[in-house]
Structure 1
Amino acid sequence: MTTNTAPADLYRHGLKLLLDKDIAAWLDLWDDHGVFEFPFAPDGWPRRLEGKAAIADYMRGYPDHIDLHDFPYVEIHQTNAPQTIVVEMRAVGLLVATGSPYDMTYIAVVTVEDGRITRYRDYWNPLVVLQDSMSDFTRSSR
């Protein structure tokens, strides 16, 4: 990706990298000082990661936890700020530890400057993962 890559194109490329489980290449899309935020993160989960190193640490084992298979729905909206997009999307796959289906709907607000992600606010629903964890707990405690 070049420094004049449109935010929507950069984002779509990033989704392909996640499906390919190429986390290193996905991290290369980030600015060194990028900020990754999770406004709806439950207690005990990170709400804000600052810098590429923190984001890399967080994403390091991602394919070991979630095996993404597809993004069957992706809609990207332009904003009045040309460097910022709003993304509605759905990701499907498997939770690796349990083999349970993973089906998550997201809204993301992403800012790209000079061809790199500088800010990513990920509005995911943590109840999906927590409900699966509780189901596993319930099954294992019977």
Structure 2
Amino acid sequence: MTAAKTPTAPMAPADLYRHSLRLLLDKDIDGWVALCDENVVFEFPFAPEGFPARLEGRAAVAEYMRGYPDHVDFREILSMEIHQTTNPETIVAEWRGAGRIVAIDAPYDMPYVAVVTVSNGRITHYRDYWNPAAIPGSADNAKFFPDAR
């Protein structure tokens, strides 16, 4: 006889976000996308021309992230601070990630601020204030992220 499985409670938003970054470090893009709700909305307020400003749905996020490890070899989190908002489902994460830009084997060191809402253990809204135009030495970021268009 098999013991009944005890349902596990969804992760708190801060824990889910930390877990999502671990998945990125592990290059587990499928696992990362699986943390998103089917109807997730991603927004990129600083998206330069040629980059999407908004993604709607898990499939769109999966397509956007598909080649991420081929473009950025994300290796470490240099700093991390997570702030709880008055909405218990929403956090603000300030962090800095580092690695390599694969196409030119150049350093990648980027500060991020993300406003993330989680419901029922899934990311439902993600507003990402990263700036692709801040990639060092690049006036044409599309050559580093050809799948972004």
Query: Do the two structures share a fold, i.e. TM-score over 0.5?
Result: yes
What is the count of residue pairs matched by the alignment? 134
Which amino acid in structure 1 is aligned with residue 79 of structure 2? Y
Displacement of 1:44 in angstroms is: 1.2
Displacement of 1:3 in angstroms is: 4.9
> Structure 1 residue 44 and structure 2 residue 53: aligned?
no
Gapped regions of structure 2 (runs ≥ 5):
1-7, 142-149
What SS does structure 2 have at the residue aligned with 1:71?
strand
Identical aligned pairs, as a percentage? 61
Q: Which of 139, 142, 147 is the equivalent residue of 1:134?
A: 139
- TM-score normalised per structure 1: 0.90
* Bigger helix share: 1
Displacement of 1:125 in angstroms is: 2.0
Matches within 5 A, 1:77-92: 77-92=83-98
Residue in structure 2 matched with residue 15 of structure 1 by the alignment: 21
Q: Which of 124, 135, 143 is the equivalent residue of 1:118?
A: 124
Displacement of 1:128 in angstroms is: 1.5
Question: Is the CA contact 1:3–1:116 (under 8 Å) kept in the aligned structure 2?
Answer: no
Q: Matched residues in 1 for 2:30 and 2:55: separation?
A: 17
Deviation per CA, 1:91-135: give whole Å up to 9, x if none. Answer: 000000000100000100000000000000000122222x42239
Could you list the runs of 4 or more consecutive aligned residues of structure 1 that deviate by over 4 angstroms after TM superposition?
A: none
Matches within 5 A, 1:54-73: 54-73=60-79
Gap change, CA 1:114 and 1:135, over 3 Å in 2: closer
